[in-house]
Structure 1
Amino acid sequence: MSESSNKPPLSLSPGQWSFTRWNTIGQLEALEVHHPLFEATLFMQGAHLTRFIPNNEPDWLWLSPAARFEPGRPIRGGIPVCWPWFGDPARNAPEVRKRVKTPSPHGFARTALWKLEDVRENAHEVEISLSLDANDDFADVWNGHALALLTYSFSVRGCQLALTTTNLRIGPLAFSQALHTYLPTTDITRSRVLGLGYRHYMDTLKDWEYCTQDGPVYFEGETDRIYESGEPLTIVTPSASRKLTAVGSDSTVVWNPGPDKAAKLSDFPGSAWQTMLCVETANAASDYRVLNEGQSHTLGVLIGRG
């Protein structure tokens, strides 16, 4: 947690929040934070953050101009929570795959309705915690029982996410996951990711071939790679630089749909691939995690200035 998280909260009850308000956007409930130092929008469906704006800067996150806010529909942009599996179930490790009962990618957390656990506010920070009890209500798509607790910490320095998974079932639980962060750029061809040099990765566009990164990651069309690294990264675009510092992660996904894939995506304008990129803090591929009964694992990322 950031240093200000130890400061006493100004308020805890919904009727007395100073900076946080309920709002309905489209057909979905959201919490909107209007703090003197920053603003944020967090949807209850998917525990999905779509906006973070410190000090009247441009939004640090990318949200599709065609995004739709409807029950059961994933929101395109922001930070989708992929849990308790990431990507195509068939491409997951056998221990993860055997629990999944659907071909749908990226798990059910991003369209499930999460429960508000707490809002803590002070003069420097707002912290919001939401939970998802993945119990028998999800038995048609997943065989497991786990509790996901996601805490967002907003401050003028940046945005921190901590996703803690606790196995509530007897016996081991294997799962994969990702915090699927969409970042904006004014020109994808002049954007790059630093910190992955000499790291091995699987290129999903080349039949999952193992490759080694040579220098910064540049975008020259569709990109979809799973890197074997959880080291701090710097994302440089023509207008900004962001640093992503992960915890509990030894894998990172770098994604951009390119022009052809973009034309096939839902809620995604055909030219939007030129204005965004995804750098995802993950437990993916061989970095999946296994928890015994009662054990927990936290996946987190701090998004700050580069």
Structure 2
Amino acid sequence: MSESSNRPPVSLSPGQWSFTRWRTVGQLEALDVNHPLFRATVFLQGAHLTHFAPRDEADWLWLSETARLEPGRAIRGGVPVCWPWFGAPERNAPEVKRRIHASQAHGFARTALWKLEDVRESAHEVEISLSLDANEDFRDLWSGHALALMTFNFSVRGCQIALTTTNLSSEPLAFSQALHSYFPTADISRSRVLGLGQSNYIDTLQEWDYRSQDGPVYFDGEVDRIYESGEPLTIVTPRGSRKLRTVGSDSTVVWNPGPEKAARLSDFPDQAWKKMLCVETANAAGDYRVLNEGQSHTLGVLIGRG
């Protein structure tokens, strides 16, 4: 999946960073990347990417105008990290569900404070790595011990995101997850997702029935589907297109809240559903993963030009 140049980014300490700076945004700490070729913003809370764009281009990601940057509150937009479970706890496989002691959807990683591991920079790329040790501190929410490592690689060609989970416990660990990527569009009614034709999917809005996709995915009101596919995809909007290439995924979530749910969502303007869509790289539904002691699994996506 990597599209690295011949000279890999060099690991640097804060005093040596050329393009990366600490910045407080709202009430949260972020790493701001201002490279001659591109820009990006990554928050320590949630290891959350909220902005990426090559120089002089519009943001490749969608961020709500009313997103609240506060401790303990998930950021609406960008790429939230759903981990170590995806969706409502009760909708997960029994092996995943039995570890969850909370009612909240999408796990705790997106509101947890991650640790900065490394910043690597070169003339062509910037790579940022953050980690979350899910240990006894989270026992009220979840039973398990795992290390999550999030790595972002930015270049003028695109944005590569990789989430690696390592089981640090002595017993098998089952988990589900997603990179909940939000993308902008000028008009949701003129947007579509290519590459899921002939895939089966779970329609969560129709009593979780299984259905089959015929042709591109279009948006006409609320859409919330879990596709049994990890194939390369293309998002086509009036603004242009983006290609998604994944690793470690055999499920893709496509979501748009539509007008009625948008009115109920927090930190989401009532009309914003017309200007965004989510295509999420996932291990969801039957695609949950199990790791034995010491094993690792990487879920990743490369967001590139269409």
Structure-1-length-normalised TM-score: 0.99
Partner secondary structure for residue 33 of structure 1: strand
Q: Is the 8 A contact 1:11 1:17 kept in 2?
A: no
Q: Which amino acid aligns with 2:131?
A: S
Deviations, residues 171-215 of structure 1 (Å, cap 9, x unaligned)? 100000000000000000000000000100000000000000010
Q: Which amino acid aligns with 1:36?
A: P
Partner secondary structure for residue 189 of structure 2: helix
Q: Specify the alignment match of 1:135 in structure 2.
A: 135
- CA positional deviation for 1:10: 4.9
Equivalent pairs counted in the alignment come to 306
Partner secondary structure for residue 254 of structure 1: strand
Partner secondary structure for residue 189 of structure 1: helix
Q: Specify the alignment match of 1:260 in structure 2.
A: 260
Partner secondary structure for residue 286 of structure 1: helix
Q: Specify the alignment match of 2:302 in structure 1.
A: 302
Using the alignment, how far apart are the partners of 1:86 and 1:5 within structure 2?
A: 34
Q: Is the 8 A contact 2:9 2:127 kept in 1?
A: no
Using the alignment, how far apart are the partners of 1:229 and 1:8 within structure 2?
A: 31
Q: Specify the alignment match of 1:51 in structure 2.
A: 51
- CA positional deviation for 1:261: 0.1
Deviations, residues 150-179 of structure 1 (Å, cap 9, x unaligned)? 100000000000100000001100000000
Using the alignment, how far apart are the partners of 2:296 and 2:9 within structure 1?
A: 26
Q: Specify the alignment match of 2:13 in structure 1.
A: 13
Taking structure 1 as reference, are residues 109 and 94 closer, same or farther at Cα in structure 2, changes over 3 Å only? same
Deviations, residues 82-133 of structure 1 (Å, cap 9, x unaligned)? 0000000000000000000011000000000000000000000000000000
Q: 5 Å matches for 1:1-306?
A: 2-4=2-4, 7-10=7-10, 12-306=12-306
Deviations, residues 27-60 of structure 1 (Å, cap 9, x unaligned)? 0000000000000000000000000011211100
Using the alignment, how far apart are the partners of 2:191 and 2:38 within structure 1?
A: 25
- CA positional deviation for 1:8: 4.7
Using the alignment, how far apart are the partners of 1:172 and 1:155 within structure 2?
A: 37
Deviations, residues 232-284 of structure 1 (Å, cap 9, x unaligned)? 00000011100010100000000000000000000000000000000000000
Partner secondary structure for residue 118 of structure 1: strand
Partner secondary structure for residue 297 of structure 2: strand
Q: Which amino acid aligns with 1:50?
A: T
Using the alignment, how far apart are the partners of 1:8 and 1:196 within structure 2?
A: 34
Q: Is the 8 A contact 1:252 1:282 kept in 2?
A: yes
- CA positional deviation for 1:11: 5.3
Q: Is the 8 A contact 1:167 1:296 kept in 2?
A: yes
Partner secondary structure for residue 109 of structure 2: coil
Q: Is the 8 A contact 2:45 2:111 kept in 1?
A: yes
Taking structure 1 as reference, are residues 37 and 143 closer, same or farther at Cα in structure 2, changes over 3 Å only? same
- CA positional deviation for 1:6: 5.5
Using the alignment, how far apart are the partners of 2:210 and 2:11 within structure 1?
A: 51
Partner secondary structure for residue 51 of structure 2: strand
Taking structure 1 as reference, are residues 302 and 3 closer, same or farther at Cα in structure 2, changes over 3 Å only? closer
Partner secondary structure for residue 90 of structure 1: helix
Q: Is the 8 A contact 1:119 1:128 kept in 2?
A: yes
Q: Is the 8 A contact 1:79 1:180 kept in 2?
A: yes
Partner secondary structure for residue 60 of structure 1: coil
- CA positional deviation for 1:9: 3.6
* Gap regions ≥5 residues in structure 1: none
Structure-2-length-normalised TM-score: 0.99
* Gap regions ≥5 residues in structure 2: none
